[in-house]
Amino acid sequence: MTVLEAVSLTKRFGPVTAVDGVSFGVGEGEIVGLLGPNGAGKTTTLHMVLGLTTPDSGTVRMFGRDLARHRTWALSRVNFAASYVSLPWVLRVDELLDVFAHMYGLRNPRRQVAEMTELLDLGELRDRRYGQLSSGQQTRVQLAKALLNEPGLLVLDEPTANLDPDVGDRIRELLLREAHRTGRAMLITSHNMPEVERMCSRIHFVSGGRIVATGSAVELAGAYGVDDLEAVFLRVARG
């Protein structure tokens, strides 16, 4: 089953075409990476996929339904976390999760908050304010928020940016474990090539608002005649 289907997405900001006819899909249980240099159009593409930005042309279908027409239905089955997004720093961890459990219309918010608190090992942090936590702890809270509604599609925009290698590794481990446990689909952007190689079964390289290459890490490295994804990235970024 196709969880996400983006068809010919185009977005212009004045004279600049940020995204130019991008099409891709994410299947059930699949982890797809969206890579590219800064300003390539990755985040704009993610924002169109999440209904934050309206495309000038093209469509987004989620779980077989048009996002524009079934926004509430679709977004209650999706969740999102990004390194550049924060959460209200004055709220305690348990209050934050409670708020988002209500925001996603969960039938039993308390139970779901308790489950995520356990899954992300947040028990000791639950009565601490978000603003008092370290970057790694904040990322765990963001992931708990992103998993609250047990989304069919998890969209992560540079989820491990700003984290030290140890914490970053633990987060990747956790995401992979969750993906295998639940069969959840993920769409990830990252500038960490080893992370993408490890996590993503399929990678789309975006440059100048277009998808310029698609494949697994091994396939892409082969196609560009290089050893790893980082070398592919450099080739794409430098034209």
Partner 1 sequence: MSQLVLDGAAARRRRIASVIRRDFFALRRDPPRMIDMVFWPTAELVLWGLVSMYLQQNRVHIAVAMLLGAVLLWQVLHRAQGEVTFGFLFDVWSRNLLNVFVSPLSTLEYVAGLVLASVVKVTATIGVMSVLAFTLYGFGVLTIGPGLVPFMAVLMIMGWALGIVAIACVIRFGQSAQIVAFILVFVFQPFAAVFYPLSVLPGPVQAVAALVPASHVFEGCAGSWPAAASRGTGWPQPRCSTSGTSRARSPSCSTRSATPGRGASCRSSARRSRRPS
Binding site for partner 1 (CB under 8 A): 50-52, 71-73, 75-80, 82, 84-92, 95, 98-107, 109, 112, 129, 145, 149-150, 152, 155
Structure tokens belonging to residue 184: 């959840």
Smallest gap from residue 130 Cβ to partner 1 (A): 9
Smallest gap from residue 49 Cβ to partner 1 (A): 10
Smallest gap from residue 223 Cβ to partner 1 (A): 34
Cβ(10)–Cβ(17) below 8 Å: yes
Cβ(171)–Cβ(143) below 8 Å: yes
In Å, how far are 31, 96, 139, 162, 199 from 174, measured between CA atoms?
A: 14, 21, 12, 17, 11
Q: Which is nearer to partner 1, 61 or 236 (CB)?
A: 61
Smallest gap from residue 140 Cβ to partner 1 (A): 15
Q: Which is nearer to partner 1, 112 or 192 (CB)?
A: 112
Smallest gap from residue 8 Cβ to partner 1 (A): 22
Q: Which is nearer to partner 1, 102 or 218 (CB)?
A: 102
Smallest gap from residue 119 Cβ to partner 1 (A): 15
- Residue 36 dihedral angles phi and psi, to the nearest 5°: 165, 165
Consecutive H or E run containing 221: helix 217-224
Q: Which is nearer to partner 1, 145 or 172 (CB)?
A: 145
Which residues, other chains included, contact 204 with Cβ-Cβ below 8 Å and sequence gap of 6+? 24, 32, 33, 34, 35, 211, 213, 214
Coil vs helix vs strand at 78: strand
Consecutive H or E run containing 185: strand 185-189
Q: Which is nearer to partner 1, 51 or 208 (CB)?
A: 51
- Residue 232 dihedral angles phi and psi, to the nearest 5°: -60, -45
Instruction: Using DSSP bridges, classify how beta strands 2-13 and 16-27 pair: parallel, antiparallel or unpaired.
Output: antiparallel
CA-closest candidate to residue 27, choices 202, 239, 233, 205: 202
Q: Which is nearer to partner 1, 90 or 234 (CB)?
A: 90
Q: Which is nearer to partner 1, 54 or 238 (CB)?
A: 54
Smallest gap from residue 112 Cβ to partner 1 (A): 7
CA-closest candidate to residue 196, choices 215, 178, 177: 215
